[in-house]
Structure 1
Amino acid sequence: MDVRFQTGSKRFNYRAAGILIEQDHVLLHKQVDDKYWALPGGRVKLGEQARDTVVREMKEELGYEVHVDHTPWIAENFFHYDGHDYHELGFYCTLISNQSYFQKGPYHGLEGERLIYQWIPINELNEIVVQPEFLTAGLRRVPEHTEHVIVEN
């Protein structure tokens, strides 16, 4: 069971996302109809560690074998989306792998065409919309120690 719940128009979401960087590009994804990009990941399941969520999601969504290196950010993200106010707790983990997954151009994962994945040059992140917004600058200087971030939109 995913750790999420709704009260009226407010939703809580516990999410973990992976930061996979290769050749000065970061792997991002977006819903086909959305205008913003995000780090790949998913909802944490009850009783699951956030780092295990990221590894599981990367395997399920893309078939990628990855390991968590460290967690540079824990973010409390407050935003409005699709008619709901969200309070999201997000763990952002840097990932490492024994193989390269870099490829040019957009592509779809193993779960169909709902999500578009693309390796975006880190120095071009200002040219697209990345959510949460702290990642646009943050991915240029990923901290070595965990930082707590609060994002209020």
Structure 2
Amino acid sequence: MEAYHGSHSEGDGDYYRPLGGTIEVGERSYETVVREFKEELGLDSTIDTYITCLENIYTVDHEQTHEIVQLYAVSFKDAFSYNNEEYQLIDENDSVASWIPIETVLLGARTVYPDGIREALRTFLGK
């Protein structure tokens, strides 16, 4: 998950979002995920399975935003890629990606976006 700090719909503080980005013209959503992992982490990944689509309408700084999130289970190609607890994002100086235990997300112990991600993960995992 990419870690953020600041204002969000549940207040101020830390919050997290899955890694990803904008789909480019002519690109499939699963191709975007693989490309974004490479661009943001410098790591090769593979798509394990499609989880679901989440549509999210929210407001940030009094401006309404609309996103469609294609959620995938992803694996790194090289086992050594799992050794770090945190990764500095390549294209952003002060941003990091962190491992968050799935149970922590499911229990709501961390603020995670987009809306609906907890329910989607519970369904996917059969919990």
Q: TM (normalized to structure 2)?
A: 0.78
1:103-142 matches, cutoff 5 A: 103-125=83-105, 126-142=108-124
Distance 2:125 2:90 in 1: 31
Higher RCO by CA contacts (8 Å cutoff, separation 6 or greater):
1
Q: Secondary structure at the match of 1:138?
A: helix
* Alignment pair present for 1:72 and 2:72: no
2 CA distance for matches of 1:141 and 1:109? 30
Q: Which has the higher helix share?
A: 2
Structure 1 runs (4+) greater than 6 angstroms displaced: none
The share of aligned pairs that are identical, in percent, is 26
* Residue 31 of structure 1 pairs with residue 4 of structure 2: yes
Unaligned runs of 5+ in 2: 8-13
Alignment of 1:1-153 (within 5 A): 28-33=1-6, 35-100=14-79, 101-125=81-105, 126-142=108-124
* Greater share of residues in strand: 1
How many Å separate the matches in 1 of 2:71 and 2:25? 18
Q: Secondary structure at the match of 1:112?
A: coil
Q: Aligned partner of 1:91: which letter?
A: Q
Residues matched between the structures, number: 117
- Partner Cα distance (1:114, 1:73) in 2: 30
TM-score, normalising length from structure 1?
0.66
Give the corresponding residue for 2:10: none
Cα RMSD of the aligned pairs, angstroms, is 2.2
